[in-house]
């Protein structure tokens, strides 16, 4: 199973990735730098990856699910409620490809500020 590290000035998280066409494209684009955006309790950032929606794409996911937003070419990491959520769910802006899961506590992501510099790399 492939793993990636997402690091920012105040910390880092690891995500374990599935074996999907989107993950293969994502891994081929790494390492890279990105600029964080926040949307409620979600961090997302654009990556140089182009892909299509996969059959098991979802809009409502568990906190800590690593998702790829096809329309925005962005990795989306929800850790709680977003402006689209109903109740306590983590609802993405649209259906997204599920690429993996954050290892450990996804709320670590709340320390990422809008515009923060991120480094995304494969863990050997």
For every one of its 124 residues, what pLDDT tens digit does the chain have, with 9 covering 90 and above?
A: 899 999 999 899 999 999 999 999 999 999 999 999 999 999 999 999 999 999 999 999 999 999 999 999 999 999 999 999 999 999 999 999 999 999 999 999 999 999 999 999 999 9
Predicted confidence at residue 32, as pLDDT, reads 97
- Rounded CA-CA distance 42/100 in Å is 15
Q: Where are the domains of the chain?
A: 3-122
Other C-beta atoms closer than 10 Å to the C-beta of 60 total 14
Would you tell me which CATH number, out of the four given (1.10.1050.10, 3.20.20.80, 2.40.100.20, 2.40.50.180), belongs to the domain 3-122? 2.40.100.20
pLDDT for position 2: 97
3-class DSSP state for residue 75?
Answer: strand
Q: Which residue has the tokens 């299509």?
A: 52
The per-residue pLDDT for 1 is 84
């Amino acid at each position: 199973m492939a793993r990636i590290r997402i690091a920012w000035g105040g910390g880092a998280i690891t995500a374990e990735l599935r074996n999907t066409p989107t993950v293969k494209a994502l891994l081929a684009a790494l390492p890279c730098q990105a600029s964080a955006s926040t949307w409620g309790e979600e961090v997302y950032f654009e990556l140089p990856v182009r892909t299509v929606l996969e059959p098991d794409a979802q809009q409502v996911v568990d906190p800590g699910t690593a998702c790829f937003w096809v329309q925005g070419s962005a990795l989306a990491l929800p850790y709680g409620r977003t402006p689209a959520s109903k109740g306590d769910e983590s609802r993405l802006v649209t259906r997204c490809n599920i690429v993996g899961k954050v290892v450990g506590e996804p709320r670590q992501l709340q320390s990422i500020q809008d515009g923060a510099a991120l480094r995304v790399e494969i863990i050997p």
